[in-house]
Structure 1
Amino acid sequence: MRKMKNIHVIIATAEWHQDQLRYRRHRLAEFLQKKSDTEEVIWLCPTPRRTTDNFTTLKNGIKQWTIQDLFPQKVFRFGRYMDLFYKNKLTTFNQYINQIKKKNRLIVWFTFPGFPYIANGFHWDTIIYDCSDNWTNSISGKKSFVSYFRQKVIQKAEERIIDKAHRIFCTSQYLHDQVIQKIEHPSKSHIYTFENGVEFDLFREKKLPMKAILPDRFNGTVLGFIGGIKSKLDFELIQDVATKKSNWLFLFVGPDQTTENDGFHQLLNNKNVVWTGSIDPFDVPKYMQLIDIGIMPYKASSYNKAIFPLKLFEFLAAGKPAIGVHLPSTTKYVEQAVYNHLETNDSQAFIQACEKLECEKDCPEYIDRRIQVASGKNWNDIFEGMLQLV
């Protein structure tokens, strides 16, 4: 008799390649895809584009199922959280799930609080909420009627998912505490914290740095940020530091997801600021070779209080010291010449902290220590720990 296998459905924020980045959810899906007891992994996500084929198989074997938004404009994304606007679009998906549920164990992973009806209207063996962001708060921190409406809609959707979830995983203690405040059940034993990790082996491979990125004949200190460039970053802080430290080079690597009002494009007017644009996520270790100090300069905001940055352990795995600003979830990793953290956007304090790291960046003892810290944060180990609780 055939042993029952697992069907994993990942409720994701966007189509697989849309963000041009590899987030926690991408790594989770690929991890589950490789497990021997997995029958298939389905990536169910919204899409702003019109399509006649909402079901495709990706090159990695994961099946992508898209749900079309009301309209392509960003303002209409609230429809992802309200049953009225997407429930009927799940009919075909529901039929497919009903066909396979008798022969397999069905597990759904909500990686954002979208499509809450899926938690209520389907028969799952296990419902998981993998909470990686403070979804009800705006990234930019700007307040308006639209942002207030969005907050309330997402809050209600998230509460429905939390209420139905058998397991809840959070990427920071802040999110863990926030979830506990939202839960109605007296038991909190099904809520766990699993921070973000690193593909450690990928960063330990010997890779040559990318060429023709830095200015000719530049041999000074490079401060680098790698990841999605968003409004949650403090561009005013970097603008001030770049002006005061003209002998430093600031390297930004990743897709620009800002608006003209966020300050990033103004920052690029500085001769000592370089932006590469989007890159292949698997080339990140090559770009790490160009960096002397990894920077994570975030604004002070409710949204950023919840963040555990994906890049922290990647910097350390590459042997690079790092500095974070307004990232309280990372303070327990503060260690001399390894990681420094600031709770201020004062440019002089940032400069002094980086100057200290600059003096310590090439010390073999400290390089080994950074790598050692990162070695205990491998993604596969994190996901194995989560899976044991499912």
Structure 2
Amino acid sequence: MSQEKYIHVVVATGSWDQDDLRYRRHRFAEYLRQKEETEEVIWVCPTPVRNDQRFRKLPNGIMEYQIPDILPPRIFRFGRYLDPFYKNKLNELKIYLNERNTFKHVLWFTFPGFPLLAELTKWNKIVYDCSDLWAAPIGGKQSLVMKWREKSIHSAENRIINESNSIFCTSDFLHETVKKNPFSADKDVHVLENGVEFNNFNESQVTGDHRLTSLPKPVIGFLGGIKPKLDFELVKKLAVTYPDWSIVFIGPDGTNGSEEFKELLKEQNIHWLGKVDPAIVPEYMKAIDIGILPYKESIYNRAVFPLKLFEFLAAGKPVVGMNLPSTIKYQEPGVYIYSDTNDDFISSLTDVASEIGNPLLIEKRIEAAKEKDWKNIFNQLYSRGLDSKL
């Protein structure tokens, strides 16, 4: 008997190569693509650019299906959550899936966009992999526009939760939030935190001419999208307190012109290197002495489980974080330090700086990350998602 084949549709926040960043959803889509029983993976995503060609084949073999926003400016992204603004843009995808009705169809929502997809075809399973408190303002600020946006996202997310067979959350806070939702009353809701490509980050080596090796030590670093959820005033205070330390930001600017970030870059010991190829991010992790997760206090950040925590640890680097309650349970001296105040954050870095190369602590950091390999996490996501009750 021939094996049943699956077409997996992954609903993503943007095009595959947007910002050249790799999130959980990218790694999971590639995991699905490599499964023996997978016929095809389709990456469904919004795009601010109008394109007559909806489908495009990515170099990794995944098919991308683009749904253009009403207009390019960010303010028009509300159309991703309201059916009339995208319904007709799903027609080609519907035809494509219906022509392949001999395969099992699985829908994976990774953000609460395009909820009408749940009615597009007869899905064998619908799964919601929730990684953020999507309706909350990322910078912590609220406005009339943001309140309307919040209402639209809540409505879309409620529909997705209601239609899903199984739901996964990347933090305990998200899990508690989803469990309180009346639409999740009879759903399987699990916590599966973010992980790490362990071997890549553990085994990577730094070349002698690496661009970070010439900076004064210690090199304190943040890698990832630079967004309003970060506390730039805190990092500026750190830069002023320790002018001889090097503080590095590596990643694209997603601050929408933040004046705080612009002011931070005026400090002589702050270095913003821009975005780098995801393939060499492990090398940058190895070149940094201490990783930082300097997040603001906000409702949004209470739900965040940062991708970089276990990546830093797999590279043997200590980490100091703040305003990320989902990570408190992983704190351990010399491994991961969780700070409650700005002063604690800065003093913790002072303590950690004296133990960077301690071989016993390096081993502890690596051990803390070893069990968090993405393959282990995705094996659970896949098996539980497909085995969930209808």
- After TM superposition, is the score higher than 0.5? yes
AA of the residue aligned to 1:338: V
> Who is 1:375 aligned against?
370
User: What secondary structure, in the 3-state scheme, does the structure 2 residue paired with 1:361 have?
Assistant: coil
Question: Equivalences for 1:200-349 in 2 at 5 Å?
Answer: 200-209=198-207, 211=209, 213-214=211-212, 216=214, 218-344=215-341, 346=342, 348-349=343-344
- Distance in 2 between the 1:135 and 1:166 partners? 20
Question: Which letter maps to 2:326?
Answer: S
C-alpha distance in structure 1 between counterparts of 2:334 and 2:81, whole Å = 44
Unpaired stretches in structure 1, ≥5 consecutive residues = none
Q: Distance in 2 between matches of 1:10 and 1:186?
A: 24
Give a deviation string over 1:323-346, Cα, whole Å, max 9, x none: 1110000000000100001122x2
Aligned position for 2:159: 160
In the aligned structure 1, how far is the partner of 2:264 from the partner of 2:298? 21
Q: Percent identity?
A: 48
Closer, same or farther: CA 268–42 of 1 in aligned 2, 3 Å: same
Note the C-alpha offset of 1:206: 3.9
Matched AA of 2:189: I
Number of the residue aligned with 1:192: 190
Counterpart Cα distance in 2 of 1:19 and 1:220 = 29
Label 1:210 to 1:137 Cα distance change in 2 as closer, same or farther (>3 A): farther
Output the TM-score relative to the length of structure 2: 0.96
> By how many angstroms is 1:212 displaced?
5.7
Q: CA deviation at 1:282?
A: 1.1
* Alignment-derived partner of residue 345 in structure 2: 350
Partners of 2:97 and 2:39 in 1: CA distance: 13
TM-score by length of 1: 0.96
Contact 2:313–2:365 (CA<8 Å) still a contact in 1?
yes
Letter in 2 for 1:87: K
Whether the 8 Å CA contact 2:204–2:283 is kept in 1: the answer is: no
List per-residue Cα deviations over 1:116-154 (Å, max 9, x = no partner).
001134310000000000001010111111101100000
CA contact (8 A) 1:210 1:287 kept: no
- Given the alignment of the two structures, is residue 82 of structure 1 paired with residue 82 of structure 2, yes or no? yes
> Does the CA-based 8 Å contact 1:140-1:231 persist in structure 2?
yes
- Gaps spanning 5+ residues in structure 2: where? none
Residue 54 of structure 2 is matched in structure 1 by 54
What is the identity, as a one-letter code, of the residue corresponding to 1:334? Answer: Q
Distance 2:80 2:95 in 1: 20
The 1-side partners of 2:296 and 2:207 are apart by 30
Task: Give the AA of the match of 1:108.
Answer: L
Query: Deviation string for 1:192-251 (max 9, x for gaps)?
Result: 0000000001112242248463484x4421110000000100000011110111111101
Tell me, yes or no, if the aligned pair for 1:223 and 1:251 is still in contact at 8 Å.
Answer: yes
Which deviates more from structure 2 when the two are superposed, residues 131-140 or residues 179-188?
A: 179-188
Whether the aligned pair in 2 keeps the contact of 1:289 and 1:318 (CA below 8 Å) is yes
1: CA distance, partners of 2:259 / 2:326: 24
Other-structure match for 1:359: 354
Inter-CA distance 116–53: structure 2 relative to 1 (3 Å threshold)? same
* Cα pair 2:202 2:316 within 8 Å, conserved: no
Q: 1:170 to 1:274 in 2, by over 3 A?
A: same
SS of the residue aligned with 1:260?
A: coil
| Separation in 2, partners of 1:21, 1:185 | 31
CA distance in 2, matches of 1:77, 1:370: 40
Does 2:123 correspond to 1:128? no
Q: Secondary structure at the match of 1:113?
A: coil
State the alpha-carbon separation in 1 of the partners of residues 352 and 134 from structure 2: 33
Q: 1:61 to 1:121 in 2, by over 3 A?
A: closer
Deviates more, 1:351-360 or 1:253-262: 253-262
Q: Distance in 2 between matches of 1:252 and 1:28?
A: 26
Q: How does 1:57-136 map to 2 (within 5 A)?
A: 57-101=57-101, 103-136=102-135
Letter in 2 for 1:123: K
